[in-house]
Amino acid sequence: MDVPLRVLLIITGLTGIHSITAVSKVSVKAGESISIPCLYDSEYRNHVKYLCEGYCWHSCEYVIKTNQQNSKRFSISDDKIQRIFTVTVNNLRAKDPGDYWCAVEINDGPDIRKYFHLSVTSGTPNLYVDHQEITGSKGKDITINCYYRNPGKKSWCRLGSSCVTTGSSGLIDGTRVSINAKDHNVFTVTMSGLRTESSGWYQCVKGDLQMPVHVTVTEPSATTTNNTLSPTPESVNLTSVLGDRTPPPVQDEQQSVSVDRKGLIIRLSLLIFVVMVPLFIWFMFKRHKQTKAESSATTTAKEEVTYRTLIFMTKYLQS
């Protein structure tokens, strides 16, 4: 295949029917794993999705499909609610070509696809994060550090949605986002007042590189809710009266009550033991005396019978 035709095929794959949104270039370290999210239109919810490996679309080979079992190196999952299928490549190698396509099967036409490149390096990647999976509580804040070595504009984007750039703050689907780029080779993204709708795939963007990050927002636990309650007027007045002797939290009081109950049970047990031991000794002593008295009476009765018997025999012999 000559070069112009090869370029034409690539351009056709890149600019063809696009109903998939994904990253375009990711820098990763050899030996590690990477997960790539691919967003698709709602009409393709029940279609088969797959990952195709190869520089040119018309000659690439699929490596994993949603209707097949995952392998050791490649895995795929499909979130039909979020309309995102995620492909994971494990144990990346420097010799890997790094050219892939997110694709959706179309029964009565050409498959839709989106090309992305994995730039595998033996050293530190040009753009990376501490973790691809981040979890935060509803109503709270989370921060993501995006480390970089390449030039270009810095921004934080939601997959298939809007972006916030360095030096500014804004909203992404209702969630406040701010970016701090004061430190060298790292910019920090803060998402404030997380909502349930904040869950999803985002990207650190620096120049022509992206790094996908998945955010999961959970409901706050009961402990967290209790600790964040505002003080009541009664508690404020009590504090002003006691000064530094601030009353313990409700949880500490409950623990104190539990400890006091345990101590009371232990003391009662010891008291019962102290009372029962003398009673037991007195009972055994009394039983022993009673047994001894009964034994003595029995012996006396036997001696009297014997004595009477001897008298009777004596009288009998004399007569």
Q: What is the DSSP string of 11-67?
A: HHHHHSS--EE--SEEEEETT--EEEEEEE-GGGTTS-EEEEESSSGGG-EEEEETT
The pLDDT of 18-30, averaged and rounded, is 92
Does the pLDDT of residue 9 top 70, yes or no?
no
pLDDT at 270 over 50: yes
Q: Greater confidence, 141 or 259?
A: 141
Mean pLDDT of the chain, nearest integer: 81
- Give the residue, 32 or 267, on which the prediction is more confident: 32
Chosen domain end from 84, 102, 125:
125
Is 80 exceeded by the pLDDT of residue 33?
yes
**Whether 163 and 74 share a structural domain:** no
Measure the CA–CA gap between 192 and 237, rounded to whole angstroms. Answer: 33
Q: Are residues 2 and 101 in the same domain?
A: yes
Total number of domains in the chain:
2
Residue 218 has pLDDT above 60, yes or no: yes
Residues 160 and 97 in one domain: no
Q: Is the pLDDT of residue 147 over 70?
A: yes
308 part of a folded domain = no
Greater confidence (241 vs 319) lies with: 319
pLDDT digits (tens, 9 = 90+) for 95-104: 888 999 999 9
Here the CATH number for the domain that contains residue 93 is 2.60.40.10
Last residue of a domain, one of 204, 234, 264: 234
The pLDDT, as a whole number, for residue 245 is 43
Phi-psi bin for 98: left (phi > 0), alpha (psi -120 to 50), beta? left
Q: Are 36 and 77 in the same domain?
A: yes
Same domain for 168 and 67 = no
pLDDT at res. 95 = 87
Average pLDDT over residues 165-171: 87
Q: Is 267 inside a domain boundary? A: no
pLDDT tens per residue across span 38-91: 999 999 999 999 999 999 999 999 999 999 999 999 999 999 999 999 999 999
Which pLDDT does position 89 carry in this prediction?
A: 96
pLDDT above 80: residue 111: yes
- The verdict on 121 and 133 lying in the same domain is no
Do 140 and 225 share a domain, yes or no? yes
**Per-residue confidence band for 223, with pLDDT thresholds at 50, 70 and 90:** low
The pLDDT of 25-44, averaged and rounded, is 96
In this structure, the answer to whether residues 113 and 187 fall within a common structural domain is: no
CA pair distance 201, 228, nearest whole angstrom:
29
Q: Does 68 reside within a domain?
A: yes
Residues, the chain: 319
Q: What pLDDT is attached to residue 287?
A: 74
Q: Is the pLDDT of residue 250 over 70?
A: no
Q: Which two tokens stand for residue 263?
A: 């101590």
pLDDT value for 214: 98
When mean pLDDT is compared across 29-43, 141-155, 202-216, 255-269, the lowest value belongs to: 255-269
Query: Which domain covers residue 141, as residue numbers?
Result: 126-234
- The first and second tokens of residue 300, run together, are 């006396």
Out of 214, 234, 254, pick the residue that ends a domain.
Answer: 234
